[in-house]
Amino acid sequence: MKKFMTLAVASILSMSAFAQDVYKQISKIKDYNEAYNLLKSNLSNMSAEQKAKCYNKLVDLAYEKVVNEQATITSNQMAAQLNTKVEPYDTIGLYNAVMQALENGVLCDEFDNQPNDKGKVKPKFHKSNGDRLYPIRFHLINAGIYYQNKDEALAYKNLATYVDSNDYPLFKEQDKSTDASLTQMAYYAARFAYFAKEYDKAEKYADIAIKDTAMADDALQLKLAVMQNQLKSHEDTLNYVNKLKSIYANDENNDMVFSTICSMLISLNDKAGLSEFVKVKLAKDPNNFTALAMSGQANMNEHKWDEAIADLSKAASKQPENVAVLASIGNSYMYKAQEAAERATANGKKLSPEAENAIIDVYKKAIEFLEKAKNLDKEMQYKTVWAYSLYTCCYRIYGADDPKTKEMEALTK
């Protein structure tokens, strides 16, 4: 037993000596990649304290690169003012070094805060690394901008790291009150995360961006899109609507959330729920454009054409150049005319001249609003909501061979 214990102690001492030897080797290396590879290949034989020392050395190497490139940038700024020669600097090297310094600083801090052999936590590098690394975070923003049209993955990584690093334990003592860029960068990080389909992160970053009054609407819209993209079942949709209602309960003036709830209730075919929701909104705000437009949409879904026209006309009075609303009024008139014709000719009955004239008048009202929508839709963004309807109305009134009908038919293609 004594011999076994002696061997065990000798083994431990040997491992410790080996780890110290690795640190001595790393401390003499000037190249970051060489030091990094040496550490990675020997981590399994090192204590937390030794790992912290080695990771701190990697921070030193990366930070030295940052300082050198920053010095060149500062010197160039002065040279530009004095109209003297500027020196080239390593842009990509700078951005890589900033990321390396931060990543290794976090790992150093993790091991630096683990208990030592006596069970006590006595970090050696926490304060110095926090103080020197927190100020260089702004380079992550520059890197995000630099890479946005070159490498979206790197742009995303840099902006996400900027946002995430705000909560690093390494920086818990730093004064973050002066960081005016966090919420804005969170929004752009959320966009990158959304397109990368990392929806949890996208929602996390969007929640940070929402705190910025200037970014709140865009961030909320992105958050809603993130939530919608995760709907896979009827139950998911119901839960999503309930979440939206919770958001809306805290901000009943938010028309975007109101509109989204209405759209989801329509998709769920919850006619009663939609009707009640819109009714409550209009009782509080009778002239609310969104509520009037949604009420009009709900009435269209119920084939209540006169009610739809009334609501949509009120909405159009608030936004007289809203193409979608004008087209919806035109469509309501068209469907009203079609249903009137169907009723008048039911059971093989022949359409009387008086009934035909009355129906033609309704088609003409439809054309009036559909043409307004067409004329306002300069970029043809909403062509799908007015073009075919306009052609249908012209076909019904003027016939297939009329030049106006032909003109409208061409717009459907």
pLDDT at 349: 84
- In this structure, what DSSP letter does residue 86 have? -
Under 8 Å between Cβ of 183 and 213 = no
Buried b vs exposed e over 371-381: b needs ≥16 C-beta within 10 Å? bbbbeebeeee
Looking at the domain 232-310, which fold is it? 1.25.40
Predicted confidence pLDDT, tens digits, the chain (413 residues): 555 454 444 444 444 444 567 889 999 999 999 999 999 999 888 999 999 999 999 999 999 999 999 999 888 888 777 777 778 889 999 999 999 999 999 999 999 999 887 788 899 999 999 999 999 999 999 999 999 999 999 999 999 999 999 999 999 999 999 899 999 999 999 999 999 999 999 999 999 999 999 999 999 999 999 999 999 999 999 999 999 999 999 999 999 999 999 999 988 989 899 989 999 999 999 999 999 999 999 899 889 999 999 999 999 999 999 999 999 999 999 999 999 999 999 888 888 889 999 999 999 999 999 999 999 999 999 999 999 999 999 999 999 999 999 999 999 98
Q: Which one, of 404, 380, 378, 381, lies nearest residue 391 by Cα?
A: 404
Tokens 């003499």 correspond to 28
Provide DSSP, 42-80.
TGGG--HHHHHHHHHHHHHHHHHHHHHHHHHHHHHHHHH
Token pair, residue 285, equals 């705000």
Q: Determine how many CB atoms are found less than 10 A away from the CB of residue 170.
A: 24
* H or E segment and range at residue 367: helix 353-376
Whole-angstrom distance, CA of residue 51 vs CA of residue 45: 10
Provide DSSP, 330-354.
HHHHHHHHHHHHHHHTGGGPPPPHH
- Helix, coil or strand: residue 395: helix
41 Cβ partners below 8 Å, 6+ apart?
none
Provide DSSP, 170-202.
GGTTS--TT--SHHHHHHHHHHHHHHTT-HHHH
Whole-angstrom distance, CA of residue 326 vs CA of residue 80: 57
Q: Which one, of 14, 16, 20, lies nearest residue 57 by Cα?
A: 20
In single-letter form, the type of residue at position 367 comes to: I
Whole-angstrom distance, CA of residue 159 vs CA of residue 372: 45
353 Cβ partners below 8 Å, 6+ apart?
none
pLDDT at 87: 82
pLDDT at 19: 52
Give the Cα-Cα-Cα angle 120, 125, 131 (nearest 5 degrees). 135
Size (the chain), residues? 413
- Helix, coil or strand: residue 111: helix
pLDDT at 97: 97
